[in-house]
Structure formats: C-alpha cells, structure tokens
Amino acid sequence: MMRMMLAGMSESQARLLRSAAADLTADAGFLQDWTYLEQACQQARPDLVTIYLGGRPGQILALVKRVRAMFPSTSFVAVAESAPPTLVEQLGEAGIVDLVLMPECPRDLRRAIKSLATRDRSTSVEGSIITVLGAKGGMGTTVSAVNIAAELAARFQDQKIILVDLHVYLGDISVALDITPKPSVLWFLHRGTVADARTWTEAPPPHRGGFQVLGLEGDLTKTDPVTAEQVVFLLERLKERYHYVVVDCGSEITEVSLTAASSADHRLVVMTDDHVGRSGARRRRDALNALEMPPPVARAIVNRSVEGTAKKRSEIESFIKMPVLGFISNAWQDTHRAIEQGQVLRQSAPRSQVTRDFKALVDTIAGAHQDAERRKRTFFNFFR
C-alpha cells in the first residue's frame, strides 16, 4: 500500500481527501504549508504526495520539480479547482503524474491512485548493470560500450539489452549510432516518474544491432542538473525491465559516473597501455575504492592493444592495481568505419580481430554473471 502525504491544503480538505483514499493508501503525514515540502519529504519519504495548487500553481510546481530531482521515486498528484490548458502543460513540465479536480473528489482522487498503482506493474527481470568508465578522454569508452551492448544482444537474442549514455554533457552515442534519441536519457532522468511500464520498455529507440538506446540530444548546457538520486532511480527502473543495462559513463569522475558505478554489477575501466592510460586507470580505481563500494571490484579493458600487449598483463595489473578483464585489438580503421556507417563492429567488420575481441570480452562477462547466479541459487537451495 502506498504511503500518501497531503500538502498545501486546509485541514478540512485534507480530511476529505484522506477519507476518500483511506483504503488505498497509508498515512504519510499532512503538510499545510507547502513551502516546507522538501523537509517533509526528507523526513517522511512518502510514495505519493497529493498537493493542492491553490492560487499560486506556478510557484508550487517549481518547488515540486526541485523536490522530484531529490526524491525521484516519489510520485506527485496535483489537486486543482479546474484544468485550463496552460496548467496542464505546466503539470507535465513539473513531472506531475495526474491531476485531480477538487469538485469531483473523492471519486477523482481514487481514480488517480488506482491508476498510479497499476501503471507500473511489470515483470521484473533482475537485470545486470555494466558501467564503462574511461581512464581518460579518448580511450575508446563509447566504442567499448556500444560493442559490448551489441555482443550481448547477439549472444542473448531472447533478452532485452539497453545502452545508456550517462556522459551527460558530452555523450555522443546517438551520433556514433546514427540514431534519433527520442526520448532521451535526460527525459527519463527528469520525468521517469510519469512514465508507465510500457514507456520504459518500448519508448527507447532500437538500433539494428539488436539493442535499445537512451542517448542525448539538444543543447545539453541548458538542461537541468542531474542528481545522484535521479541516476539511482533510472538504473533501478531499467534493471527491472532489461536483462543487461550497459552504461557509458564517459571518462570524468563526477557524481553521475560514480553513482552509476556504485549501482553496477560489472565496473569496467577502459584504458590504453601507455603511461597516461595506466595512470588514469589507477586514479579511477582509487576513486571507486574511496567510495567503499560493495563487490565486484573494478576491472580494466586494455584498448588498442598490439602484439605483445597481452603478455604484459601481470605488469599492467600490478601498476593499475586491478585485474585486466580483456584486451581489444588496435583496429582504428574498422572502428572509424563502423562509426561513419552508424553500425556496430559485428555489422561492419564481422570477421575482424577487434570484433572477436569484443565477443570474447562479453563471453567472459556473461560467464561470470551466470556463475554468480548459479552460486546464488545453490546457496538458497541449500536452506530450502
């Protein structure tokens, strides 16, 4: 049962609405002064806030938008006396999931709550998140993320794979894949609470490589800031609906990239075997370790490797202080041709060594994931 907070209304209005939803929701409190909404949500952590817009809807909705950025898992239903077109547009911008008309309460409130309770019902697949972080700019993070997603899609053709661009202000996955990012990852970050289960699974555009994509578009410098809470909410929702979620975190150590890594089942650092690449990989490893994240440990991908690079595995691991998961051959002509064509390597260069390297890498990732699942099942079966 959802916990509902009532806000911005009189005590008599609150009693009316509380009585109308008594059998559908649990009481998460009453807040008469809506200006304290942030503090109230921080303390009560309601699942649903039903807020009366009164005579200053613009100010209230601006506050709701800010609060939603901090508590994206909390849904908001607005209560108003009427619904002019300008107000409806403002509601969508603020991320309000439904509008209840006071003259039609309590029936309209019950309708909104029942709709909210059913809109997100879907079968959870308990997916796996793979984050890809570059040791430095230009290490090949995007190419790695794209082709890991492609190889997962080829290996698990009956499963849902999604590629997510969380290099928030510089990401170029949509350009590399020649795909229109509508809806974009920013739409889901800022408005994911208003999306139903079908939107989460069907709206991200598909690529002909067999996976879906959440990319970036537009002038990203004008977008609202992305919070850690929004990143966690996004990845949790995707993990419930996709078997594998591959996240391109770019190369910068930011709140967004570190938050994504903290949610991951596989943390990959893309590097090259030179001093800059090794030093950058070690700094990323130190940044991840400083957060005291739970297992698994981060692992490195050595990109653009040449003959003899793989023989230096132990030396590389000793310097960067993390295991090397795999080596990707230096094949810039193949990778650039794929980008120019908006394709993945298995499409543009199916017999290339670099394509085989990505396949071997994904075989290792998938095999480790399946081994972990088998161990988990064995553990729980032992106590049955």
Strand partners, 27: 4
**Between β-strands 25-31 and 48-52, what pairing exists: parallel, antiparallel or unpaired?**
unpaired
Confidence check: pLDDT of 379 > 80: no
Confidence check: pLDDT of 370 > 60: no
Query: What is the value of pTM for the model shown?
Result: 0.82
Confidence check: pLDDT of 177 > 50: yes
Q: Which of 41-45, 304-308, 376-380 has the lowest mean pLDDT?
A: 376-380
Q: What is the pLDDT of residue 368?
A: 53
Confidence check: pLDDT of 58 > 80: yes
Confidence check: pLDDT of 188 > 50: yes
Per-residue model confidence as pLDDT tens digits over 189-205: 988 888 888 899 999 99
Task: Name which residue leads in pLDDT, 65 or 357.
Answer: 357
Q: Mean of the pLDDT values across residues 229-250?
A: 95
Q: Are 362 and 151 in contact (CB under 8 A)?
A: yes
Report H helices in the chain.
11-20, 37-44, 57-70, 85-94, 107-119, 141-155, 173-176, 185-191, 197-202, 228-241, 255-262, 275-290, 313-320, 332-341, 345-348, 353-382
Q: Give the mean pLDDT of the chain.
A: 90
**Percent of the chain residues topping a pLDDT of 90:** 72
Confidence check: pLDDT of 373 > 70: no
Q: What distance in Å separates the CA atoms of residue 334 and residue 149, rounded to the nearest whole number?
A: 17
Q: Return left, alpha or beta for 238; rule: phi > 0 is left, psi -120 to 50 is alpha, else beta.
A: alpha
Q: What distance in Å separates the CA atoms of residue 17 and residue 20, rounded to the nearest whole number?
A: 5
Confidence check: pLDDT of 382 > 50: no
pLDDT category at 90 given cuts 50, 70, 90 is: confident
Confidence check: pLDDT of 369 > 50: no
Q: What is the pLDDT of residue 184?
A: 92
Q: What is the pLDDT of residue 24?
A: 93
Confidence check: pLDDT of 185 > 90: yes
Q: How many beta carbons lie within 10 A of that of residue 375, not counting itself? A: 10
Question: Could you give the domains of the chain?
Answer: 2-119 (3.40.50.2300), 128-382 (3.40.50.300)
Q: What is the pLDDT of residue 32?
A: 93
